[in-house]
Amino acid sequence: MIKIPRRLDDILPAAAMERVLDVLQQPELTASVRETLSKMGVKELNPIEKMQDAWRQTRVWLESMTGIQGSRRAATAVLNATGQLFHPQLAGSSMASAVAYGYANAALSFQFLEELQMRAQQVGRTTLGCAHTAWVSDVGNALRLVAKQFGATSLVVARSDLLRIAVLGDVSSLLELANLPITEIGATNQTTVDDWQQTLVQPSQLVVLVSPNSLPPSEAAAQRTAAIEAAQASGAQVLEILLDGVVSPAVAETLHCPLASQRLASGVDGIILPLNFLLGGPRGVLVAGEDARLGKLQRLADMGGVALSGPGLAAAVITLQFEQQGNESEAGVASALQLNPENLKDRASRLVIQLNDYGPIAMAEAVERRIPIGPAPWNRYELSNWAVKLTPRSTVASITDPLRQHREGRAILADYDATHAYFDLRFIMPSADHELVEAVSALVPNADGASHSTMESGG
Protein backbone atom coordinates (compact mmCIF):
# COMPACT_ATOMS: atom_id res chain seq x y z
CA MET A 1 0.00 0.00 0.00
CA ILE A 2 1.34 3.40 -0.97
CA LYS A 3 1.51 5.89 1.85
CA ILE A 4 0.42 9.35 0.71
CA PRO A 5 2.31 12.12 2.53
CA ARG A 6 0.15 14.74 4.20
CA ARG A 7 2.79 17.40 4.75
CA LEU A 8 4.16 19.43 1.85
CA ASP A 9 7.53 19.42 3.56
CA ASP A 10 7.56 15.62 3.37
CA ILE A 11 6.96 15.75 -0.38
CA LEU A 12 8.85 18.64 -1.86
CA PRO A 13 10.12 22.08 -0.73
CA ALA A 14 7.50 24.00 -2.71
CA ALA A 15 8.76 27.51 -1.95
CA ALA A 16 12.29 26.58 -2.91
CA MET A 17 11.12 25.07 -6.20
CA GLU A 18 9.21 28.24 -7.08
CA ARG A 19 12.31 30.36 -6.47
CA VAL A 20 14.52 28.01 -8.50
CA LEU A 21 12.16 28.22 -11.48
CA ASP A 22 11.98 32.01 -11.23
CA VAL A 23 15.78 32.19 -11.35
CA LEU A 24 15.97 29.71 -14.23
CA GLN A 25 13.61 31.85 -16.29
CA GLN A 26 16.01 34.78 -16.40
CA PRO A 27 16.82 35.28 -20.12
CA GLU A 28 20.58 35.43 -19.70
CA LEU A 29 20.65 32.19 -17.70
CA THR A 30 18.32 30.40 -20.10
CA ALA A 31 20.55 31.34 -23.03
CA SER A 32 23.64 30.11 -21.19
CA VAL A 33 22.03 26.77 -20.38
CA ARG A 34 20.97 26.24 -24.00
CA GLU A 35 24.41 27.18 -25.32
CA THR A 36 26.14 24.78 -22.93
CA LEU A 37 23.83 21.90 -23.81
CA SER A 38 24.30 22.56 -27.51
CA LYS A 39 28.08 22.36 -27.15
CA MET A 40 27.67 19.07 -25.32
CA GLY A 41 25.77 17.67 -28.27
CA VAL A 42 22.38 17.59 -26.57
CA LYS A 43 19.71 17.99 -29.23
CA GLU A 44 16.77 18.50 -26.87
CA LEU A 45 17.20 22.14 -25.87
CA ASN A 46 14.17 22.77 -23.69
CA PRO A 47 15.11 21.32 -20.27
CA ILE A 48 13.83 24.35 -18.38
CA GLU A 49 10.44 24.17 -20.05
CA LYS A 50 10.25 20.46 -19.21
CA MET A 51 11.17 21.17 -15.59
CA GLN A 52 8.48 23.86 -15.40
CA ASP A 53 5.89 21.53 -16.90
CA ALA A 54 6.83 18.76 -14.47
CA TRP A 55 6.59 21.17 -11.55
CA ARG A 56 3.15 22.39 -12.66
CA GLN A 57 1.90 18.81 -12.80
CA THR A 58 3.43 18.11 -9.39
CA ARG A 59 1.74 21.16 -7.89
CA VAL A 60 -1.64 20.02 -9.17
CA TRP A 61 -1.11 16.69 -7.42
CA LEU A 62 0.14 18.36 -4.23
CA GLU A 63 -2.84 20.68 -4.13
CA SER A 64 -5.29 17.84 -4.69
CA MET A 65 -3.69 15.91 -1.82
CA THR A 66 -3.86 18.86 0.57
CA GLY A 67 -7.42 19.91 -0.23
CA ILE A 68 -6.53 23.25 -1.80
CA GLN A 69 -8.47 22.71 -5.00
CA GLY A 70 -12.18 22.82 -5.68
CA SER A 71 -14.92 23.54 -3.17
CA ARG A 72 -12.60 23.11 -0.20
CA ARG A 73 -10.72 26.32 -0.95
CA ALA A 74 -11.53 29.12 1.48
CA ALA A 75 -11.40 31.70 -1.32
CA THR A 76 -10.41 32.02 -4.96
CA ALA A 77 -6.68 32.41 -5.55
CA VAL A 78 -6.02 35.40 -7.80
CA LEU A 79 -3.19 36.53 -10.05
CA ASN A 80 -2.89 40.28 -9.58
CA ALA A 81 -2.39 41.70 -13.09
CA THR A 82 -3.58 45.20 -12.19
CA GLY A 83 -0.17 46.69 -11.38
CA GLN A 84 -1.49 47.85 -8.00
CA LEU A 85 -0.30 46.30 -4.76
CA PHE A 86 -3.33 47.54 -2.82
CA HIS A 87 -6.15 47.03 -5.29
CA PRO A 88 -9.61 47.69 -3.79
CA GLN A 89 -10.89 44.29 -4.94
CA LEU A 90 -8.06 42.29 -3.40
CA ALA A 91 -7.63 41.19 0.22
CA GLY A 92 -4.28 42.75 1.04
CA SER A 93 -0.87 41.86 -0.35
CA SER A 94 0.62 38.41 -0.75
CA MET A 95 3.42 36.94 1.34
CA ALA A 96 6.80 35.99 -0.02
CA SER A 97 6.92 32.28 -0.80
CA ALA A 98 9.57 31.70 1.86
CA VAL A 99 7.45 33.53 4.47
CA ALA A 100 4.32 31.54 3.60
CA TYR A 101 6.32 28.33 3.66
CA GLY A 102 7.82 29.29 7.02
CA TYR A 103 4.35 30.02 8.39
CA ALA A 104 3.04 26.65 7.21
CA ASN A 105 6.09 24.82 8.54
CA ALA A 106 5.70 26.48 11.95
CA ALA A 107 1.99 25.66 12.00
CA LEU A 108 2.74 21.99 11.35
CA SER A 109 5.33 21.77 14.12
CA PHE A 110 5.95 22.71 17.72
CA GLN A 111 8.57 25.34 18.55
CA PHE A 112 10.55 26.11 21.65
CA LEU A 113 8.83 29.24 22.98
CA GLU A 114 11.89 30.89 24.51
CA GLU A 115 14.03 30.23 21.45
CA LEU A 116 11.45 31.76 19.09
CA GLN A 117 10.96 34.83 21.28
CA MET A 118 14.70 35.41 21.66
CA ARG A 119 15.19 35.08 17.92
CA ALA A 120 12.36 37.53 17.26
CA GLN A 121 13.84 40.11 19.62
CA GLN A 122 17.28 39.73 18.09
CA VAL A 123 16.03 40.13 14.52
CA GLY A 124 13.82 43.09 15.41
CA ARG A 125 16.55 45.01 17.20
CA THR A 126 19.19 44.25 14.60
CA THR A 127 16.96 45.17 11.67
CA LEU A 128 15.83 48.51 13.10
CA GLY A 129 19.00 49.29 15.02
CA CYS A 130 17.24 50.09 18.30
CA ALA A 131 17.37 49.00 21.94
CA HIS A 132 13.80 47.81 22.45
CA THR A 133 11.26 45.95 20.34
CA ALA A 134 7.97 44.19 20.96
CA TRP A 135 5.88 41.99 18.68
CA VAL A 136 2.16 42.69 19.06
CA SER A 137 -0.92 41.28 17.36
CA ASP A 138 -2.30 44.52 15.88
CA VAL A 139 -1.98 48.29 15.69
CA GLY A 140 -4.78 49.06 18.16
CA ASN A 141 -3.35 46.97 20.98
CA ALA A 142 0.17 48.22 20.28
CA LEU A 143 -1.03 51.83 20.53
CA ARG A 144 -2.87 51.11 23.77
CA LEU A 145 0.17 49.47 25.37
CA VAL A 146 2.60 52.20 24.31
CA ALA A 147 0.29 54.94 25.62
CA LYS A 148 0.08 53.12 28.95
CA GLN A 149 3.85 52.67 29.20
CA PHE A 150 4.49 56.31 28.36
CA GLY A 151 2.03 57.39 31.05
CA ALA A 152 0.02 59.38 28.51
CA THR A 153 -3.04 61.24 29.76
CA SER A 154 -4.25 62.28 26.30
CA LEU A 155 -3.59 61.74 22.60
CA VAL A 156 -2.98 64.47 20.02
CA VAL A 157 -3.45 63.81 16.31
CA ALA A 158 -3.66 65.91 13.15
CA ARG A 159 -6.96 65.69 11.28
CA SER A 160 -5.03 64.93 8.10
CA ASP A 161 -3.97 61.65 9.73
CA LEU A 162 -7.50 60.49 10.53
CA LEU A 163 -8.04 58.23 7.54
CA ARG A 164 -9.81 54.98 6.88
CA ILE A 165 -7.34 52.64 5.23
CA ALA A 166 -8.22 49.22 3.87
CA VAL A 167 -6.98 46.34 6.05
CA LEU A 168 -5.93 48.76 8.84
CA GLY A 169 -9.39 50.21 9.50
CA ASP A 170 -10.42 53.62 10.80
CA VAL A 171 -7.62 55.52 12.55
CA SER A 172 -10.08 57.33 14.83
CA SER A 173 -11.46 54.01 16.05
CA LEU A 174 -7.95 52.69 16.69
CA LEU A 175 -7.09 55.73 18.80
CA GLU A 176 -10.21 55.21 20.89
CA LEU A 177 -8.86 51.81 21.98
CA ALA A 178 -6.34 53.65 24.18
CA ASN A 179 -9.31 54.89 26.26
CA LEU A 180 -7.79 58.37 26.54
CA PRO A 181 -9.06 61.85 25.59
CA ILE A 182 -8.23 62.64 21.95
CA THR A 183 -7.42 66.14 20.70
CA GLU A 184 -7.76 66.61 16.94
CA ILE A 185 -5.93 69.64 15.58
CA GLY A 186 -5.60 71.47 12.27
CA ALA A 187 -7.63 70.94 9.12
CA THR A 188 -7.78 67.88 6.88
CA ASN A 189 -5.43 69.61 4.45
CA GLN A 190 -3.07 71.40 6.85
CA THR A 191 -1.80 71.54 10.43
CA THR A 192 0.33 74.59 11.12
CA VAL A 193 3.32 75.04 13.40
CA ASP A 194 1.14 77.24 15.63
CA ASP A 195 -1.44 74.46 15.91
CA TRP A 196 1.18 72.12 17.33
CA GLN A 197 2.82 74.68 19.59
CA GLN A 198 -0.47 75.89 21.07
CA THR A 199 -1.74 72.36 21.69
CA LEU A 200 1.35 70.60 23.02
CA VAL A 201 1.84 72.05 26.49
CA GLN A 202 2.15 68.99 28.77
CA PRO A 203 4.76 66.19 28.95
CA SER A 204 1.96 63.66 29.45
CA GLN A 205 0.54 64.26 25.97
CA LEU A 206 1.25 61.64 23.32
CA VAL A 207 1.41 62.77 19.70
CA VAL A 208 0.31 60.08 17.25
CA LEU A 209 1.56 60.45 13.68
CA VAL A 210 0.26 58.32 10.81
CA SER A 211 2.16 57.68 7.58
CA PRO A 212 0.94 57.89 4.88
CA ASN A 213 -1.71 60.53 5.51
CA SER A 214 -3.92 62.69 3.29
CA LEU A 215 -1.26 65.33 2.57
CA PRO A 216 1.15 65.49 -0.38
CA PRO A 217 4.57 64.05 0.57
CA SER A 218 6.34 67.41 0.98
CA GLU A 219 3.58 68.83 3.18
CA ALA A 220 3.40 65.60 5.18
CA ALA A 221 7.15 65.83 5.86
CA ALA A 222 6.86 69.46 6.99
CA GLN A 223 3.94 68.64 9.28
CA ARG A 224 5.85 65.73 10.80
CA THR A 225 8.86 67.94 11.53
CA ALA A 226 6.67 70.61 13.13
CA ALA A 227 4.97 68.03 15.35
CA ILE A 228 8.25 66.51 16.55
CA GLU A 229 9.83 69.89 17.29
CA ALA A 230 6.79 71.09 19.23
CA ALA A 231 6.66 67.83 21.18
CA GLN A 232 10.33 68.04 22.09
CA ALA A 233 9.89 71.63 23.27
CA SER A 234 7.03 70.64 25.60
CA GLY A 235 8.43 67.27 26.69
CA ALA A 236 5.58 65.36 25.03
CA GLN A 237 6.16 61.94 23.46
CA VAL A 238 5.77 61.08 19.76
CA LEU A 239 4.61 57.72 18.40
CA GLU A 240 4.46 57.09 14.66
CA ILE A 241 2.26 54.46 13.00
CA LEU A 242 4.39 53.68 9.96
CA LEU A 243 2.14 51.84 7.51
CA ASP A 244 4.42 52.65 4.58
CA GLY A 245 7.63 51.78 6.39
CA VAL A 246 10.10 49.32 4.88
CA VAL A 247 13.32 47.72 6.08
CA SER A 248 15.01 47.34 2.70
CA PRO A 249 17.08 50.38 1.64
CA ALA A 250 16.64 49.30 -1.99
CA VAL A 251 12.84 49.39 -1.71
CA ALA A 252 12.95 52.73 0.12
CA GLU A 253 15.06 54.18 -2.68
CA THR A 254 12.92 52.75 -5.47
CA LEU A 255 9.56 53.72 -4.02
CA HIS A 256 10.70 56.85 -2.13
CA CYS A 257 9.01 55.59 1.01
CA PRO A 258 10.23 55.73 4.64
CA LEU A 259 13.02 53.45 5.81
CA ALA A 260 11.86 52.37 9.27
CA SER A 261 15.29 52.64 10.91
CA GLN A 262 15.73 56.20 9.65
CA ARG A 263 12.30 57.28 10.85
CA LEU A 264 13.07 55.83 14.26
CA ALA A 265 16.27 57.87 14.43
CA SER A 266 14.62 61.15 13.39
CA GLY A 267 13.11 62.30 16.67
CA VAL A 268 10.16 60.02 17.44
CA ASP A 269 10.03 58.07 20.69
CA GLY A 270 8.68 54.93 19.07
CA ILE A 271 7.22 53.48 15.90
CA ILE A 272 4.53 50.93 15.21
CA LEU A 273 5.50 49.05 12.05
CA PRO A 274 2.71 46.86 10.60
CA LEU A 275 4.00 43.80 8.78
CA ASN A 276 1.18 43.26 6.30
CA PHE A 277 1.50 46.33 4.08
CA LEU A 278 4.73 47.11 2.22
CA LEU A 279 6.58 44.38 4.11
CA GLY A 280 4.30 41.66 2.74
CA GLY A 281 4.23 39.72 6.01
CA PRO A 282 1.54 38.27 8.27
CA ARG A 283 -0.88 40.43 10.23
CA GLY A 284 0.92 41.86 13.25
CA VAL A 285 3.17 44.76 14.20
CA LEU A 286 6.65 45.45 15.46
CA VAL A 287 6.93 48.21 18.07
CA ALA A 288 10.40 49.72 18.30
CA GLY A 289 12.21 52.54 20.04
CA GLU A 290 15.03 53.65 22.31
CA ASP A 291 12.86 54.69 25.27
CA ALA A 292 13.55 52.38 28.22
CA ARG A 293 9.84 52.19 29.01
CA LEU A 294 9.37 50.17 25.82
CA GLY A 295 11.59 47.48 27.32
CA LYS A 296 8.62 46.13 29.30
CA LEU A 297 6.20 46.22 26.39
CA GLN A 298 6.72 42.64 25.22
CA ARG A 299 6.02 41.26 28.69
CA LEU A 300 2.83 43.34 28.91
CA ALA A 301 1.72 42.08 25.50
CA ASP A 302 2.39 38.49 26.58
CA MET A 303 0.48 38.92 29.84
CA GLY A 304 -2.42 40.62 28.09
CA GLY A 305 -2.74 37.95 25.43
CA VAL A 306 -2.07 40.37 22.56
CA ALA A 307 1.48 39.34 21.67
CA LEU A 308 2.25 38.06 18.19
CA SER A 309 3.07 34.40 18.69
CA GLY A 310 3.32 30.93 17.16
CA PRO A 311 3.36 30.64 13.35
CA GLY A 312 2.57 34.35 13.01
CA LEU A 313 5.69 35.32 14.95
CA ALA A 314 7.83 32.80 13.07
CA ALA A 315 6.60 34.21 9.75
CA ALA A 316 7.13 37.77 10.97
CA VAL A 317 10.78 37.06 11.75
CA ILE A 318 11.30 35.55 8.29
CA THR A 319 9.56 38.58 6.76
CA LEU A 320 12.07 41.02 8.24
CA GLN A 321 15.00 38.86 7.25
CA PHE A 322 13.90 38.38 3.64
CA GLU A 323 12.59 41.90 3.09
CA GLN A 324 15.84 43.41 4.32
CA GLN A 325 17.78 41.21 1.90
CA GLY A 326 15.08 41.36 -0.80
CA ASN A 327 16.13 40.51 -4.33
CA GLU A 328 14.38 39.76 -7.58
CA SER A 329 14.67 35.99 -7.22
CA GLU A 330 12.47 35.95 -4.10
CA ALA A 331 8.71 36.02 -4.63
CA GLY A 332 7.53 38.73 -2.27
CA VAL A 333 6.46 42.34 -1.99
CA ALA A 334 9.99 43.70 -1.51
CA SER A 335 11.28 41.91 -4.61
CA ALA A 336 8.22 42.89 -6.67
CA LEU A 337 8.61 46.55 -5.73
CA GLN A 338 12.20 46.64 -6.95
CA LEU A 339 11.90 44.54 -10.09
CA ASN A 340 14.00 45.89 -12.93
CA PRO A 341 11.66 47.49 -15.52
CA GLU A 342 13.81 46.01 -18.30
CA ASN A 343 13.06 42.51 -17.01
CA LEU A 344 9.36 43.36 -16.98
CA LYS A 345 9.68 44.64 -20.54
CA ASP A 346 11.34 41.40 -21.70
CA ARG A 347 8.60 39.31 -20.14
CA ALA A 348 5.88 41.48 -21.67
CA SER A 349 7.51 41.17 -25.09
CA ARG A 350 7.58 37.37 -24.86
CA LEU A 351 3.92 37.27 -23.83
CA VAL A 352 2.98 39.51 -26.77
CA ILE A 353 4.29 36.88 -29.18
CA GLN A 354 2.00 34.27 -27.63
CA LEU A 355 -1.11 36.42 -27.21
CA ASN A 356 -1.17 38.60 -30.32
CA ASP A 357 -4.11 37.84 -32.64
CA TYR A 358 -5.17 34.92 -30.47
CA GLY A 359 -8.69 33.96 -29.43
CA PRO A 360 -10.63 36.98 -28.14
CA ILE A 361 -7.51 39.18 -28.50
CA ALA A 362 -7.17 41.11 -31.75
CA MET A 363 -3.82 42.64 -30.86
CA ALA A 364 -1.30 42.45 -28.01
CA GLU A 365 1.36 45.10 -27.36
CA ALA A 366 4.03 45.63 -24.72
CA VAL A 367 3.52 49.04 -23.11
CA GLU A 368 5.16 50.97 -20.29
CA ARG A 369 2.89 52.44 -17.61
CA ARG A 370 3.33 54.66 -14.58
CA ILE A 371 1.00 53.19 -11.94
CA PRO A 372 0.28 54.11 -8.29
CA ILE A 373 0.53 51.12 -5.95
CA GLY A 374 -3.02 51.71 -4.73
CA PRO A 375 -5.80 54.23 -4.09
CA ALA A 376 -5.36 57.14 -1.66
CA PRO A 377 -3.31 57.44 0.46
CA TRP A 378 -1.13 54.93 -1.42
CA ASN A 379 -1.37 56.88 -4.69
CA ARG A 380 1.64 58.98 -3.65
CA TYR A 381 3.82 55.98 -4.52
CA GLU A 382 4.14 55.17 -8.21
CA LEU A 383 6.18 52.60 -10.13
CA SER A 384 7.25 52.27 -13.73
CA ASN A 385 5.61 49.04 -14.92
CA TRP A 386 5.38 47.09 -18.15
CA ALA A 387 2.17 45.44 -19.25
CA VAL A 388 0.68 43.52 -22.14
CA LYS A 389 -1.96 45.80 -23.65
CA LEU A 390 -4.81 43.72 -25.09
CA THR A 391 -7.13 45.02 -27.79
CA PRO A 392 -10.27 42.83 -27.80
CA ARG A 393 -12.08 41.62 -30.89
CA SER A 394 -15.37 42.63 -29.30
CA THR A 395 -15.59 44.16 -25.80
CA VAL A 396 -13.09 44.55 -22.99
CA ALA A 397 -15.44 42.56 -20.76
CA SER A 398 -15.19 39.61 -23.16
CA ILE A 399 -11.62 39.24 -21.89
CA THR A 400 -11.68 40.51 -18.31
CA ASP A 401 -14.89 38.85 -17.08
CA PRO A 402 -14.06 35.24 -18.05
CA LEU A 403 -10.51 35.62 -16.69
CA ARG A 404 -11.87 36.86 -13.38
CA GLN A 405 -14.12 33.78 -13.23
CA HIS A 406 -11.37 31.39 -14.36
CA ARG A 407 -11.51 28.21 -12.28
CA GLU A 408 -9.03 25.85 -13.94
CA GLY A 409 -6.18 27.73 -12.28
CA ARG A 410 -5.92 31.01 -10.46
CA ALA A 411 -8.42 33.69 -11.41
CA ILE A 412 -6.87 36.71 -13.12
CA LEU A 413 -7.71 40.27 -12.15
CA ALA A 414 -6.59 42.44 -15.06
CA ASP A 415 -6.51 46.21 -15.34
CA TYR A 416 -8.62 47.83 -18.04
CA ASP A 417 -9.96 51.04 -19.53
CA ALA A 418 -12.78 51.71 -21.99
CA THR A 419 -11.04 50.06 -24.94
CA HIS A 420 -8.25 47.82 -23.64
CA ALA A 421 -7.37 45.25 -21.01
CA TYR A 422 -3.90 45.08 -19.45
CA PHE A 423 -1.80 42.28 -18.02
CA ASP A 424 0.49 44.31 -15.77
CA LEU A 425 3.42 42.13 -14.70
CA ARG A 426 4.69 44.03 -11.65
CA PHE A 427 3.09 41.70 -9.09
CA ILE A 428 3.17 38.50 -11.13
CA MET A 429 6.25 36.35 -10.69
CA PRO A 430 7.93 35.08 -13.89
CA SER A 431 7.00 31.49 -13.05
CA ALA A 432 3.31 32.47 -13.34
CA ASP A 433 3.49 34.09 -16.80
CA HIS A 434 2.38 30.84 -18.39
CA GLU A 435 -0.88 31.02 -16.41
CA LEU A 436 -1.85 34.17 -18.30
CA VAL A 437 -1.45 32.39 -21.62
CA GLU A 438 -3.22 29.26 -20.41
CA ALA A 439 -6.16 31.29 -19.11
CA VAL A 440 -6.56 33.01 -22.47
CA SER A 441 -6.23 29.65 -24.23
CA ALA A 442 -9.19 28.41 -22.22
CA LEU A 443 -11.29 31.11 -23.90
CA VAL A 444 -10.44 29.96 -27.43
CA PRO A 445 -13.29 27.94 -29.03
CA ASN A 446 -12.44 24.40 -30.06
CA ALA A 447 -13.63 22.64 -33.18
CA ASP A 448 -17.15 22.25 -31.74
CA GLY A 449 -17.46 25.96 -31.10
CA ALA A 450 -17.22 25.72 -27.31
CA SER A 451 -14.38 27.15 -25.28
CA HIS A 452 -11.88 24.79 -23.70
CA SER A 453 -13.01 25.85 -20.23
CA THR A 454 -16.66 25.11 -21.08
CA MET A 455 -15.86 21.68 -22.49
CA GLU A 456 -13.64 20.65 -19.61
CA SER A 457 -16.12 21.80 -16.99
CA GLY A 458 -18.93 19.88 -18.64
CA GLY A 459 -20.88 23.06 -19.44
Single pTM value for the model: 0.82
Per-residue pLDDT tens digits for 249-299: 989 999 999 999 999 999 999 999 999 999 989 999 999 999 999 999 999
Work out the percent of the chain whose per-residue pLDDT is above 70.
Answer: 79
Q: What mean pLDDT comes out for the span 236-244?
A: 98
pLDDT given at position 405: 87
Q: What is the pLDDT of residue 47?
A: 55
How is the chain split into domains, by residue range? Answer: 1-74, 77-94+340-459, 99-324
Per-residue pLDDT reduced to its tens digit, 391-407: 999 999 999 999 998 76
Write down the CATH number for the domain with range 77-94+340-459: 3.90.1150.180
SS (H, E, C) the chain: CCCCCCCHHHHCCHHHHHHHHHHHCCHHHHHHHHHHHHHCCCCCCCHHHHHHHHHHHHHHHHHHHCCCCHHHCCCCCEEEECCCCCCCCCCCCCCCHHHHHHHHHHHCCCCCHHHHHHHHHHHHHHHHCCCEEEEECCHHHHHHHHHHHCCCCEEEEEHHHCCEECCCEEHHHHHHCCCCCEEEECECCECCHHHHHHHCCCCCEEEEEEECCCCCHHHHHHHHHHHHHHHHHHCCEEEEEECCCECCHHHHHHHCCCEHHHHHCCCCCEEEEECCCCCCCCCCEEEEECCHHHHHHHHHHHHCCCECCHHHHHHHHHHHHHHHCCCCCCCCHHHHHCCCHHHHHHHHHHHHHHHCCECCEEEEEEEEEEEECCCCCHHHCEEEEEEEEEEECCCCHHHHHHHHCCCCCCEEEEEECCCCEEEECCCCCHHHHHHHHHHHHCCCECCCCCEHHHHHHCC
What does CATH list as the number for 99-324? 3.40.640.10
Domains 77-94+340-459 and 99-324 share a fold: no
Per-residue pLDDT, 94: 82
pLDDT of residue 48: 54
